[in-house]
Structure 1
């Protein structure tokens, strides 16, 4: 658990192993006494010294992003054992990442959703680049064709992704419209990730969906 998260709390340890917080404290002390380089983050929890116990298998950022994305699809599966085993595999994946990588994986985990839709899936080839742009806070320039067949070029700040089983949808702040907009990946004709960062908007995917639901209720 210490290797899979940047900061781990005693409450998380107690809940995971069904023990008391006092036992969790003792276990941490025992690990420290055995030579494991754990340090206390005041008021937050425990963390391992970065770089400790570097695992033999290392994933690239794009590979880690692909596995995190697949996890959101697996979570929709009705077989409990598949969900459990894949979740365990994801925890092991996180142990191979350094602190910066852990932060990016956690961010992407919160910014990807998978929604059921049984229509045919359309193709695209930009998901990996967009995922990395989300975690790196990089502006994207796209040539886009809307549902009416009208083409436009615009610069956008990528915020989150969701999948309808028909299309991948990118939620982004459109600098041309000065508002959040959704873009189907299969309608992006050209995509370039610019070497220019944008300020984090602290975007919350669940809040965004909640606002859409409320808006739909008002117009129904």
Structure 2
């Protein structure tokens, strides 16, 4: 009986040592992995600071996955501001603007949130214009590039104007038995006009193409069916904080 007790005690002692070693190894691996994740992104510390400035603390656990780009000069900016673009894979992007206080000190000015793929951005008077593109087609379009204008209000840039620069979509005729489809292409040119108040000239063309199915190539051939061009002038209205149509040309 005594031998059995000694044998059992020896067994549990050896087992406790093995479990202790296993726990120590697992704990060490976890710490090492966390360190690698934390410092794998060279911009980690800066990204965390920006997320805190913008009240996006919920994104800090994903800081290592965030892509950061520094813009030291924003086109048309006269106050030496600095901007950062941040984006998560397959997620919305955002732009953060900092104002220069002194030679090496900057303070948080505002955030432009919920953006798609950022192609370009620049100042237009007191506004920021952001050119964007959609990364994935939707049921409403197959390709889209668009422009948004933002106005700074209480450290958050609010959208005050929107226009498609280029959009292409396919419309299927569900009632037809001959696979009929229509392609619609919308394109716009934007010009900023001089004057006492901010004004925008938009020239927009919408073209419809009829799709003819070619059995030989198993594809569609598109023939232009209709085209309309519209010229509009939008003027800034400070009372409602947006650009509204002043007149059609």
Same fold, judged at TM 0.5 (above): no
Higher RCO (Cα < 8 Å, 6 or more apart): 1
Which one has the bigger strand percentage? Answer: 2
Which one has the bigger helix percentage? Answer: 1
Larger radius of gyration: 2
Q: TM-score range by the shorter chain?
A: under 0.3
Length-normalised TM-score, structure 2: 0.23
